Structure 1
Amino acid sequence: MNLSEKIELLIKRKQLSASQFADKLGIPRSSISHILSGRNKPSLDVVQKILRVFPEITAEDLLFEDRTLGSVAVAKEIVPAPSTPSLFDPILPTPSESVKNNSPEQTIVQSNLRRTRESSHVERNSNVPVTASVANPTYLEKKIERVLIFYTDGTFSESKPQS
């Protein structure tokens, strides 16, 4: 049984529609539709979300074609996927940043963000002792400086928060 068939079986055993299943995983409904129709194969991201939301399923049972899903409990409570962060939420490092973002561009961006978080407030506030800035969380607070919007015609607009 291939991975797409196992996903279809899991949806049936959990008594969910494909749309409900996609919503539980926090992925687009079209992704599940394409997987079930055979158009696309499940991505690593989809597999990881299935394993996170349905902890009773082992990775081996899900991934290896010679294994079956066994008896997946129907009444098992489903853990909702984390919500998508807002543009204005603070940037917080996660322990698995390097695992999730392994493309060179994303890795560079993440390392620059991390470096900025660790050192920028000390550089900008050079007259503030490091111990004082660490002890006082107001110095660590991130605030939006400006927002740039780039358009497909090559123009852009800039917005700054009102002081």
Structure 2
Amino acid sequence: MVNTAEFIERLQKVLDYYGLSASAFADKIQVNRASISHLMSGRNKPSLDFVLKILDTFPEIELYWLLNGQGTFPKKPDSAEETSGTLFSNPAPPRENPEVRIAKVDVEPEVSTKQEDPIKSAQKKNIEKIIIFYTDGTFKTFIES
């Protein structure tokens, strides 16, 4: 079972670590500000939905640390590297005499088929009306006379 007082202390560490106020934290994890206030005052206990929203928003928080105080905060980068290798986690040793091959490639320009210019085709048409919309919600209409 989660000790609410200790959970509040760990939650306060999270707020301090990210430099967030309780209301900014509530906005970030998309919960009501009142639920954070009630939780921090000890009136309510943390719900599963609340804890999952914290973990979704802040993946560097360990679940067991948040609930029971076991583990570390923030997660150590070593633990993430153990679960999934990176591009350079196990590099191959360099070869003694690497062979360098340079290939010469002749590039021919691509010949495109001639297409009719859309501006020239638009010049064959007559403009009847132009409407300009402004950001303040007004507009002007220009009509061919």
Q: Sort the TM-score into its range (normalised by shorter chain).
A: 0.3 to 0.5
TM-score by length of 1: 0.41
Structure whose residues are more often helix by fraction: 1
Task: Name which one, 1 or 2, has greater alpha-carbon Rg.
Answer: 2
